[in-house]
Amino acid sequence: MNFARAYAVSAAALIAAGVWLSPQTAQAQTLVWEDNFNGPSIDGEKWIYDVGDGCQIGLCGWGNNELQYYTSRPENARIENGSLVIEARRENFGSRGFTSARLKTEGRMHFKYGTLEARIKVPDLRNGLWPAYWMLGTTGNWPARGEIDLLEMGSAAAIAANMTNRRVGAAVHWDYQGSQADFGQDFNSGSDLNGGFHTYRLTWDPQFVRVSIDGQQFFEFAISNIEGASLHEFHAPYFLLLNLAVGGSYTGIPSADGITAPLPGRMEIDYIRLYQNPGSSLYTGANPPSGKFGVFTERNDMNARLNYNGDANLYLWNNLTPIAASPFEGSQLMAYRANAGAWYGLGVATDYKNMSRFAPGKLKFHMRTTTPSIFKIGISTSFGDSWIDFVNGGQQYGLVRDGQWHEVSIPFSAFHDLDLHAVKQMFMLVSDPPGSNVEVFIDNVYYQDL
């Protein structure tokens, strides 16, 4: 109610200032991205999975004590009758008693500002199912990356109020002076929301984040006080997530015997459509590079390369001291000493890069070292980290540990679970603690597409 009054005041002020935006203006937004889920299978150009129970990234239960194991199997996520189906099942899998799926557009579709409309059907949630249609910021650590929840159902409070299938929550989470800040509002429907499709709309502009169901707005959050309320998170790009969790802190159900919802339970998404105005931002990984892509090289035969004055950074993570040495080519190289007894590592981080055209090709670099220790070379993507182990005496991909420069050439097909559509760290090196001090030199790092 207070929001209705506030809205009337601001509308009057806008009219007085002569900047009232007519509904026609709002409708003039352009459709810039959509998935109608009408194809034969889930579109890997638009979606990637989070797989597992979260423990593999140190976040068991995905930070919420969720009970399910997320898979990328069709049992848990598939296209059916023109909808994306996410199915939660009762089955033992990877030490968990339930399976489900979580899909995201990370590295495939990021946007800032716009109108996002989705048509979604939730299953009978009673009790313990937790469907979520939400967004995370593309940069930084939670909560400083920002989170916008557009649909969550099955909360402990809704269960207690006997509103499990009728209450929808929307919320935002951000960082305020180093602490987590939250704001949420609910919609209580007069009838059950499961069993039928409903339309959820986000309208996001530099002033407000608003969410409606079937045209009825129930969430509004003012974001224009960027400095005062520390709201930078809501003026940066986000990606989408869809999942159907089982149990967990939101539901207040911490163990399998509390899950009484009929299973399998299916969350269905008919479509998601994004409309934007000029000046909004959209990333879809369009026009990906090919040929040779320079990661750390000065050679002039690259088709494109990282810009270390732009979005690329070389990070020394641990136990690496720069030393003077001659490069393999050009004027720069990675040249470091690592002390005995401690792990060492470095990484080249960038904004997301669509490197999918390099899938049939190779990661190439020159390396010079005498270390007998085990080290690994990795790439970090929206699907996680992927590593190739270099064990002395094992597969060396061209490296000889004789203190001379050698070209190392690793087929991308040798990396497991590599999501080249969304690369975040293009080159990583990590070593077990060496037995004695070592020197490591790397230069001429690039991706080649065949």
79 touching Ca ion, by CB under 5 A: no
* For Ca ion, the closer CB: 166 or 364: 364
**Total binding residues toward Ca ion, as defined by CB under 5 A:** 12
| Choice between 174 and 441, CB closer to Ca ion | 441
- Asked whether the beta carbons of 436 and 372 are under 8 A apart, the reply is no
Q: Name the one range near Ca ion by CB under 5 A: 3-11, 30-38, 191-199, 414-422.
A: 30-38
How many DSSP H helices and E strands does the chain contain? 3, 31
Among positions 39, 82, 372, 435, the unique one binding Ca ion when judged by CB under 5 A: 82
Site string for Ca ion, 286-325 (x = CB under 5 A): ------------x---------------------------
Cβ contact 412:386 at 8 Å: no
Confirm or reject binding of residue 37 to Ca ion (CB under 5 A). yes
Whose structure tokens read 């991706």? Answer: 447
Here the tokens at position 71 are: 């898979």
Q: Which residues contact 320 (CB under 8 A, 6 or more apart)?
A: 336, 337, 338, 344, 345, 346, 440
Does residue 270 belong to the site contacting Ca ion (CB under 5 A)?
A: yes
Q: Amino acid letter at 61? A: G
Tokens of 13: 């002020």
Does residue number 106 form part of the binding site for Ca ion (CB under 5 A)? no
Please give the DSSP secondary-structure letter assigned to residue 122.
B
* Radius of gyration for the alpha carbons in the chain, expressed in angstroms and rounded: 25
Closer Cβ to Ca ion, 332 or 413, answer by number: 332
34 tagged catalytic: no
- Which of 327, 345, 347, 434 is in the footprint of Ca ion by CB under 5 A? 327
Instruction: Say if residues 195 and 203 touch (Cβ distance below 8 Å).
Output: no
Q: Is 82 strand, coil or helix?
A: coil
Q: Which of 87, 147, 220, 268 is catalytic?
A: 147
CB of 71 to Ca ion, least distance (A): 23
According to CB under 5 A, which one of 3, 29, 32, 36 is a site residue for Ca ion?
36
Return left, alpha or beta for 92; rule: phi > 0 is left, psi -120 to 50 is alpha, else beta. beta
d(CA 103, CA 124): 21
Q: How far is the CB of 330 from Ca ion (least distance, A)?
A: 4
Give Cβ neighbours of residue 262 (< 8 Å, ≥ 6 apart).
Answer: 123, 124
**Closest distance of CB 82 from Ca ion, Å:** 4
Single out the residue of 130, 443, 446, 448 in contact with Ca ion (rule: CB under 5 A): 443
Minimum gap (Å) between residue 333 Cβ and Ca ion: 5
Residue placing its CB nearer to Ca ion in the complex, 53 or 443: 443
* Closest to Ca ion by CB, 163 or 316: 316
Residue 243 phi, psi (nearest 5): -155, 160
Please give the Cα distance from 264 to 261 (Å, whole number): 9
Query: 256 φ, ψ to 5°?
Result: -60, -30
Among 39, 330, 341, 403, binds Ca ion (CB under 5 A): 330
- With 0-12 CB in 10 A as exposed, 13-18 as middle and 19+ as buried, what is 384? middle
Catalytic residue among 87, 106, 152, 233: 152
Give catalytic status of residue 152 as yes or no. Answer: yes
Site for Ca ion in 338-367 (CB under 5 A): none
**Cβ at position 214, least distance to Ca ion in Å:** 17
Distance, in Å, from the CA atom of 147 to the CA atom of 140, rounded to the nearest integer, reads 11
Judged by beta carbon, residue 335 or residue 438, the one nearer Ca ion is 335
**Interaction of residue 174 with Ca ion, rule CB under 5 A:** no
Question: Which residues are identified as catalytic?
Answer: 147, 152
Contact residues for Ca ion, defined by CB under 5 A:
36-37, 82, 270-271, 298, 327, 329-330, 332-333, 443
